[in-house]
A and B are shown apart, each in its own frame.
Chain A
């Protein structure tokens, strides 16, 4: 936080302070929805041009849009909503941002101070409700505390492990006049001081392990993206100088380029065979800014049983939460990687990695992402491949909803750069992708922004099409339409005796007409041969587009680590006939 002159302190209303603080933190766009308890702030927004407000159609949309904005820029996203339902509608987006460590500042209106606790109209206990789904939150009771709290909110959201914060401002505090001061150092709790620099002794241990590794693997995550572009550069340098193989979580895609020769593909439940086998058989694992999530580890007691594990994370509570590691290093990824690289330069003698790479080559040869192409029906994997080919040389950002389409996007869309991939990883929020894409498009008005969606997910936040049209945001919604909640159907098939309980959408809307009704453009493609032309046409349209891509209805997402299994017990697509699938999921079926 920058030091500023005391003389800049001046008197203004609480509502004016909110807008002034946004300006002081360099915020150009906010996402929100007005209501009774925030009208004074909206009145201030009306009287200035520096901060542009994007009116969403549902508060959850504002939250996800702010998330997309944040993830594609590295800057905090800001949302402004009213009390009561405005605040409760934000809860999903806040939780999503907490799980995926996205810096989000959410300002909520509250009923006047003297009415708090009286069950007033549109009152809810916002700080109580959002306490477990924010990094921190504040109820402002005195207008003279407001400036300090707003500055602290930005600081807390963006430093350490980033996350969402809520500032709840009663309406009387918005009207009251008090003293505003610009951001300064002592605005922050003295008890809050995230550790950035890694411990030197731990780094020495890590260097020694890495330098002697015969079967190393780097497992990188969203922490690399959050740490910033320098972290990405250093990670690439580390891979380049060591020739270690690298895999990544869903959140970390793009930190190392998918076209890079050391890239193993994503790991975890729907990760590649080579990535998961390398994790299982490695002797040294370097986890960089990832958190050993249960979708990544599979069976924890059989996770990478013979490796020494190094874990770099800025959040001490990520260490030893799911998997016990040998060398924890608390610190910022970029900072620690710089020290690691420095240490590794001194270690010139290294084991030969050729045997390890040839082992990896045999795993790669299993071609775990293979799928059967068809001339009659569009395979969802094929649709993503064609979308990738058509957009890879453009300035493209991809968001997704949650489900099969999300995993196929992660598997088949090659990300070359960080901050280009926005997906709900931790919370798995259906409805995330479209508003997120709107946020991305606001931040990058000239770029191509595509929400890869499913026919079920898109209907959870579809009303935001109205936002996209109003603000001339030419977001493309690429729906892999299989008329099912595909991932639910897949699990019901594999785990619940193919009893497809409520996973079929009987009454899908006509997506083409729907797009037109909102003032966008609708397209539909059924034949594989029409796909490329249609994608080109979609890209050319300077309007929001719903692209209804009809795909094979019953395609499953493979490879897959079946329930309760280890990394080396993956089910590969080539082997996934009825018999092997039944065997892999035998335990599950028996207990259904």
Chain B
């Protein structure tokens, strides 16, 4: 049988050992949850327990009177795995809704970063000039350092950070991605 050669390459196990190699996709998911103790641990535990990736995860209470929080997760996986992630999230008891922002194709994604740069002379001037070009604000300054605040999509922030690297980059704090759909309708 044509399959035999392939089959016999697997080690002695009743589990099927070959992995599928479908191409990975990156998706941004918005998850509306009841804000109760342990809810974030449930979500993170799901990802680690089932071997899903978390590229970024952002969470905060968004509707205080209803005790609702919004979690934005950027994840990668095959289309089948992405579908599984959504179903697995959706069946958790405190989860209200899961929306795949990437599939809707109409979402805006933003991230905020604070970037500390240390330097004097030309490097310092150049950092300030680039910050201006990226519309980053100075939120702290000493005679030998700046802290810039920058918002934008993840690529823009990564680009800014990489430009700062040779100019005395000390450290970066990033919030992770927050996403919202365009248009008048909520999730």
Could you tell me if B49 and A132 are in contact, using CB atoms closer than 8 angstroms?
Answer: yes
Question: A587 on the interface (CB 8 Å rule)?
Answer: yes
A218 to chain B, nearest CB (A): 24
Contact status of A189 and B34, CB under 8 A, knowing A128-B41, A319-B87? yes
Could you tell me if A192 and B16 are in contact, using CB atoms closer than 8 angstroms?
Answer: no
Could you tell me if A131 and B12 are in contact, using CB atoms closer than 8 angstroms?
Answer: no
Question: Which residue from A131, A299, A586, A592 sits with its C-beta under 8 Å from B38?
Answer: A131
Stretch at the interface among A201-209, A385-393, A415-423, A564-572: A564-572
Could you tell me if A321 and B12 are in contact, using CB atoms closer than 8 angstroms?
Answer: no
Question: A175 on the interface (CB 8 Å rule)?
Answer: no
Could you tell me if B8 and A587 are in contact, using CB atoms closer than 8 angstroms?
Answer: yes
Bound Cα distance from A139 to B42, whole angstroms: 14
Could you tell me if B7 and A564 are in contact, using CB atoms closer than 8 angstroms?
Answer: yes
Size category, A interface? 35 or more
Question: A425 on the interface (CB 8 Å rule)?
Answer: no
Interface string of B40-63 (1 = CB under 8 A from A): 011001000100000000000000
B21 to chain A, nearest CB (A): 12
Contact status of A566 and B14, CB under 8 A, knowing A127-B38, A316-B87, A317-B84? no
Question: B163 on the interface (CB 8 Å rule)?
Answer: no
Bound Cα distance from A498 to B91, whole angstroms: 44
Question: A233 on the interface (CB 8 Å rule)?
Answer: no
B22 to chain A, nearest CB (A): 11
Residues of A within 8 A of B83 (CB): 320
Question: Which residue from A128, A135, A317, A585 sits with its C-beta under 8 Å from B12?
Answer: A585
A295, A321, A585 pick with most chain B CB within 10 angstroms: A321
Could you tell me if B16 and A564 are in contact, using CB atoms closer than 8 angstroms?
Answer: yes
Could you tell me if B7 and A321 are in contact, using CB atoms closer than 8 angstroms?
Answer: no
Could you tell me if A191 and B34 are in contact, using CB atoms closer than 8 angstroms?
Answer: yes
Residues of A within 8 A of B38 (CB): 127-128, 131, 139
Interface string of A76-115 (1 = CB under 8 A from B): 0000000000000000000000000000000000000000
Contact status of A588 and B11, CB under 8 A, knowing A128-B41, A320-B80, A566-B3? yes
**Closest chain A residue to B11, Cβ basis:** A591
Could you tell me if B95 and A587 are in contact, using CB atoms closer than 8 angstroms?
Answer: no
Question: A123 on the interface (CB 8 Å rule)?
Answer: no
A132, A298, A585 pick with most chain B CB within 10 angstroms: A132
Bound Cα distance from A189 to B18, whole angstroms: 41
Question: B9 on the interface (CB 8 Å rule)?
Answer: yes
Bound Cα distance from A189 to B36, whole angstroms: 11
Interface string of B17-48 (1 = CB under 8 A from A): 11010000000000001100110011001000
Residues of A within 8 A of B18 (CB): 301, 564
B33, B34, B80, B84 pick with most chain A CB within 10 angstroms: B84
Could you tell me if A324 and B10 are in contact, using CB atoms closer than 8 angstroms?
Answer: no
Could you tell me if A590 and B34 are in contact, using CB atoms closer than 8 angstroms?
Answer: no
**Closest chain B residue to A191, Cβ basis:** B96
Question: A563 on the interface (CB 8 Å rule)?
Answer: yes
Question: Which residue from A135, A316, A566 sits with its C-beta under 8 Å from B90?
Answer: A316
**Closest chain A residue to B90, Cβ basis:** A316
Question: A136 on the interface (CB 8 Å rule)?
Answer: yes
Question: A495 on the interface (CB 8 Å rule)?
Answer: yes
Q: Which chain B residues in 61-120 approach chain A with CB under 8 Å?
A: 80, 83-84, 87-88, 90-96
Bound Cα distance from A132 to B38, whole angstroms: 12
Could you tell me if A565 and B7 are in contact, using CB atoms closer than 8 angstroms?
Answer: yes
Could you tell me if B9 and A587 are in contact, using CB atoms closer than 8 angstroms?
Answer: yes
Bound Cα distance from A592 to B3, whole angstroms: 21
Bound Cα distance from A131 to B10, whole angstroms: 34
Could you tell me if A496 and B12 are in contact, using CB atoms closer than 8 angstroms?
Answer: yes
Could you tell me if A131 and B80 are in contact, using CB atoms closer than 8 angstroms?
Answer: no
B38, B41, B80, B95 pick with most chain A CB within 10 angstroms: B38
Residues of A within 8 A of B42 (CB): 131
Could you tell me if B16 and A300 are in contact, using CB atoms closer than 8 angstroms?
Answer: yes
Question: B159 on the interface (CB 8 Å rule)?
Answer: no
Q: Which chain A residues in 317-360 approach chain B with CB under 8 Å?
A: 317, 319-321, 324
Could you tell me if A591 and B49 are in contact, using CB atoms closer than 8 angstroms?
Answer: no
B180 to chain A, nearest CB (A): 20
Question: B173 on the interface (CB 8 Å rule)?
Answer: no
Contact status of A564 and B17, CB under 8 A, knowing A136-B93, A139-B37? yes
Could you tell me if A189 and B10 are in contact, using CB atoms closer than 8 angstroms?
Answer: no
Could you tell me if B45 and A131 are in contact, using CB atoms closer than 8 angstroms?
Answer: yes
Could you tell me if A590 and B16 are in contact, using CB atoms closer than 8 angstroms?
Answer: no
Could you tell me if B94 and A191 are in contact, using CB atoms closer than 8 angstroms?
Answer: yes
Could you tell me if A563 and B13 are in contact, using CB atoms closer than 8 angstroms?
Answer: yes
Could you tell me if B93 and A586 are in contact, using CB atoms closer than 8 angstroms?
Answer: no
Could you tell me if B1 and A269 are in contact, using CB atoms closer than 8 angstroms?
Answer: no
Could you tell me if A586 and B94 are in contact, using CB atoms closer than 8 angstroms?
Answer: no
Contact status of A590 and B91, CB under 8 A, knowing A127-B38, A131-B42, A191-B34? no
Residues of A within 8 A of B96 (CB): 190-191
Residues of B within 8 A of A548 (CB): none
Could you tell me if A316 and B91 are in contact, using CB atoms closer than 8 angstroms?
Answer: yes
Could you tell me if B80 and A587 are in contact, using CB atoms closer than 8 angstroms?
Answer: no
A494 to chain B, nearest CB (A): 8
B48 to chain A, nearest CB (A): 9
Bound Cα distance from A139 to B10, whole angstroms: 45
Question: A281 on the interface (CB 8 Å rule)?
Answer: no
Question: Which residue from A299, A491, A592 sits with its C-beta under 8 Å from B16?
Answer: A299
Could you tell me if B91 and A587 are in contact, using CB atoms closer than 8 angstroms?
Answer: no
Interface string of A486-498 (1 = CB under 8 A from B): 0000010001100
Residues of A within 8 A of B34 (CB): 189-191
Q: Which chain A residues in 527-585 approach chain B with CB under 8 Å?
A: 563-566, 569, 585
**Closest chain A residue to B96, Cβ basis:** A191
Residues of A within 8 A of B12 (CB): 491, 495-496, 563, 585, 587-589, 591-592
Question: A54 on the interface (CB 8 Å rule)?
Answer: no
**Closest chain B residue to A496, Cβ basis:** B12
B157 to chain A, nearest CB (A): 33
Residues of A within 8 A of B49 (CB): 132
Of the A-B pairs whose beta carbons lie under 8 Å apart in the complex, a sample of 25, sorted by A's number, is A131-B45, A132-B49, A139-B37, A139-B38, A156-B93, A191-B33, A294-B16, A299-B3, A301-B20, A316-B87, A320-B84, A321-B84, A491-B14, A496-B12, A563-B12, A563-B14, A563-B15, A566-B3, A569-B1, A585-B12, A587-B10, A588-B10, A589-B12, A591-B12, A592-B12
Query: Beyond the given A316-B87, A589-B12, could you list 18 further A-B residue pairs with CB under 8 A, ordered by the A residue number?
Result: A128-B38, A131-B41, A131-B42, A131-B45, A189-B94, A192-B93, A269-B14, A316-B90, A316-B91, A317-B87, A317-B90, A317-B91, A321-B80, A321-B84, A563-B13, A585-B12, A587-B8, A592-B12
A residues at B contact (CB < 8 Å): 127-128, 131-132, 135-136, 139, 156, 161, 189-192, 269, 294-295, 298-302, 315-317, 319-321, 324, 491, 495-496, 563-566, 569, 585-592
